[in-house]
């Protein structure tokens, strides 16, 4: 089965230029007022992702954790504050302004530095952390991959000549990078939990559903919904 992707129409949120402008502005704000920038989807959502990580992939010296599309680094700084060693944490973002902002914030915080790199997740394999180990000797070296709003942004990118979204390749790239037993935790405001499951839990990825995060719900016009959706999927361990 192939992943179901999105019928979302392209928008400026799916362009690198947009994010370059956003983080360029955030760098100015940080320099002028010390404002570290927007916490995408809000502090509560971020805290819930950190709590999920603490419960399922607790801090340990040999972990490798990567945030895909790390922006200003707020989620990774949240993990750092929760006790994850900086040397276990990495962020990548295709906007060099985002990387620059996250690095400036990191320098102004004491202690070891989180690794932030500028890289397009759909094109490049992420740089490994010095402590990371791949059981196969390949790129499958991450215990936890995180996404907060990046799959959403990628799904709003320009479609190819066959009308396919750039997001079509994302789930299999995630699966390839996870260690056996590793987790991918995603929070989205454009996809429901069911849509996330349909896109990530496929025979193509081999990933299995693990758990969800409960977010505040609302009711309107007799229907109820959630402000955003988070699911975690896992790469199964090889059969013994
Ligand atoms: C909605 S923002 C979220 C940023 C961050 N995760 C947060 O929670 O604050 C989406 C991020 O994805 C990044 N992004 C979009 N497409 C990307 C790609 N193909 N490779 C790497 N980063 C990408 C953008 O530059 C932006 O920083």
Judged against a pLDDT cut of 60, whether residue 134 lies above it is answered with yes
- Report the pLDDT value the prediction gives residue 110, as an integer from 0 to 100: 66
Output the residue whose Cα is nearest ligand 1's atom 27. 71
Shortest-distance atom of ligand 1 to CA 154: 16
List, in order, residues 6 or more apart from 188 with CB less than 8 Å away: 147, 149, 151, 152, 196, 228, 229, 230
Q: How far is the CA of 238 from the centre of ligand 1 (A)?
A: 32
Which ligand 1 atom is the nearest neighbour of the CA of 121?
Answer: 20
CA dist., res. 100 & res. 80, Å (int): 18
DSSP conformation class of 68: E
| Beta carbon of 14 within 6 Å of any ligand 1 atom | no
Label residue 77 by pLDDT band (50, 70, 90). Answer: very high
Q: Whose CA is nearest to atom 16 of ligand 1?
A: 154
Strand partners, 233: 184, 209
**155 in ligand 1 pocket by Cβ < 6 Å?**
no
- Ligand 1 proximity of 71 Cβ (cutoff 6 Å): yes
The whole-angstrom distance between residue 182's C-alpha and the CA centroid of its chain comes to 14
- Cα–Cα distance for residue pair 212/175, rounded to 1 Å: 18
Question: How is the chain split into domains, by residue range?
Answer: 12-234
Ligand 1 pocket, residue 57 CB under 6 Å: no
153 CB less than 6 Å from ligand 1? Answer: yes
| DSSP state letters, 71-106 | TT-HHHHHHHHTT--GGGEEEEES-HHHHHHHHHHH
pLDDT of 4 above 60: no
Q: Residue 1: what pLDDT?
A: 44
Please state at what angle helix 96-108 crosses helix 16-33, rounded to 10 degrees: 30
| Ligand 1 neighbour 121 (Cβ under 6 A) | yes
Task: Give the pLDDT score at 128.
Answer: 94
Q: Say if CB 87 and CB 112 are below 8 A apart.
A: yes
The yes-or-no verdict on residue 30 having pLDDT over 50 is yes
Q: Quick: pLDDT tens for 35-72.
A: 878 888 999 999 999 999 999 999 999 999 999 999 99
Kindly report the number of other CB atoms within 10 A of residue 179's CB atom: 19
- From the alpha carbon of 38, which atom of ligand 1 is closest? 9
Domain 12-234 part of CATH 3.40.50.300: no
């Amino acid at each position: 089965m192939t992943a179901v992707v999105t019928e979302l129409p392209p928008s400026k949120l799916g362009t690198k230029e947009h994010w370059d402008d956003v983080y360029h502005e955030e760098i100015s704000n940080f320099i002028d007022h010390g404002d570290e920038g927007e916490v995408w989807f809000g502090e509560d959502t971020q805290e819930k992702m950190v709590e999920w990580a603490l419960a399922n992939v607790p801090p340990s010296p040999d972990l490798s954790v990567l945030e895909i599309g790390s922006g200003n680094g707020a989620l990774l700084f949240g993990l750092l504050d929760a006790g994850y060693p900086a040397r276990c944490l990495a962020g990548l973002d295709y906007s060099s302004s985002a990387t620059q902002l996250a690095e400036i914030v990191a320098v102004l915080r004491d202690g070891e530095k989180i690794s932030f790199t500028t890289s397009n997740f759909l094109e490049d394999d992420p740089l490994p952390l010095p402590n990371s180990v791949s059981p196969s000797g390949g790129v499958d070296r991450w215990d936890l991959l995180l996404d907060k709003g990046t799959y959403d942004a990628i799904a709003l990118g320009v479609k190819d000549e066959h009308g396919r979204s750039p997001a079509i390749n994302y789930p299999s790239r995630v699966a390839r990078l996870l260690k056996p037993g590793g987790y991918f935790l995603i929070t989205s405001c454009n996809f429901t939990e069911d849509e996330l499951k349909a896109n990530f839990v496929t025979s193509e990825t081999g990933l299995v559903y693990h758990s969800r995060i409960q977010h505040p719900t609302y009711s309107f016009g007799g229907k109820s919904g959630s402000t955003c959706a988070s699911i975690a999927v896992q790469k199964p361990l090889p059969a013994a």
